[in-house]
Chain A
């Protein structure tokens, strides 16, 4: 079974530029998560989708971050414009359904450096 795929793996941009990350979850997984992991910290949930609907986006900085999962499968996370403090690893995870009894499977992440 293929795992969660993410691209690109690495991205370097200048501040105020825009950037987009792509995630393809495990086939059949209804729930998709985006996390931000800043160096030296644990992952922080940015947004959670159930199929193509948003379950929780309370920690997403909506003035600059956006995410979509239009067909309930793959997802895109965008930052526009980027700030220095956005430098982090962005992790995508998926699970069969929501809830603590459904394991979240994580992708390898996209490492973003903002100069």
Chain B
């Protein structure tokens, strides 16, 4: 069965610093991988996704993630953090194109200080 592990429930960075949120997956078949962001009192919003093709995926708001099969990872990065990036971030995996049973990690809360 597939699963997702997000390392670190809380990450704190200074404004302008590199953001790195870690996600490792477990899957017996090629996975489809997603990152979502959730701002307080709002629903989830898709940041980016990997399906096939290029392993470096660019998303909205300057975020990107790289699919590394050998490391079973899909870490999310942003070169320079903004205060507005403070939110909760979820990594998710699906193993079928139907997209059913999308499995989410427990989430990582990103805090950005000035």
Q: How far is the CA of A25 from the CA of B36 in the complex (A)?
A: 19
Report whether A109 and B43 are in contact in the complex, using a CB–CB cutoff of 8 Å.
yes
**What total of chain A residues lie within 8 Å of the partner, measured CB to CB?**
28
In the bound complex, what is the Cα–Cα distance between A93 and B41 (angstroms)? 15
- Of the candidate stretches B12-20, B71-79, B96-104, the one touching chain A is B96-104
**Dominant secondary structure at the A interface:** loop
**Cα(A107)–Cα(B44), bound, Å:** 8
Binding site for B on A (CB under 8 A): 3-4, 40-45, 48, 55-56, 58-59, 91, 93, 95, 98-109
Residue numbers of B with Cβ under 8 A of A are: 4, 9, 32, 41-46, 49, 51, 90, 92, 94, 97-102, 104-107
Of A41, A56, A108, A109, the contact of B100 (CB 8 Å cutoff)? A56
How close is A50's CB to chain B, nearest CB, in angstroms? 10
Q: How far is the CB of A5 from chain B (nearest CB, A)?
A: 11
B97 engages A42 (CB within 8 Å): no
Q: Which 6 A-B pairs have the closest CB atoms?
A: A42-B104, A106-B43, A100-B99, A106-B44, A56-B100, A100-B32
**A43, B8: Cα distance in complex, Å:** 17
- Cβ–Cβ contact B106 & A100, under 8 A: no
Determine whether the beta carbon of B107 is less than 8 Å from that of A108: no
Cβ–Cβ contact B43 & A45, under 8 A: no
Identify which of B49, B94, B107 contacts A41 (C-beta below 8 A): B107
List B contacts of A95 (CB < 8 A): 99
**A residues near B32, Cβ cutoff 8 Å:** 100
A residues in contact with B9, CB < 8 Å: 40
Output the residue of B42, B44, B99, B104 with the most chain A CB within 10 A.
Answer: B99
